[in-house]
Amino acid sequence: MTEHAANETIVPATTRDLHEVVENYIRLRAITSPGNQGSIGFHRSLGFEANLVADYNGPGMARIVFSRDL
């Protein structure tokens, strides 16, 4: 088998593997304060999940953490 033929065999499997990694591990994230209703509404309209995280920025400083899979 030539090197070129071997590469043609390997690349599709590698591409599939890479796609699985990207699909399973790439997430977009954003952060805002709990009182920023404009930001919360905007991110939710784009399909982000929103979670309140207590003490994110230190004691008593909660933040909304948004996440979305690509």
DSSP state of 58: S
pLDDT tens-digit map of 24-60: 677 899 999 999 999 999 999 999 999 999 999 999 9
pLDDT at 19: 73
Report residue 55: phi and psi, to 5°: 60, 25
Sequence letter at residue 13: A
- The three-class DSSP label of residue 45 is helix
Domains present along the chain, CATH in parentheses: 3-69 (3.40.630.30)
Cut 0.85: pTM above it: no
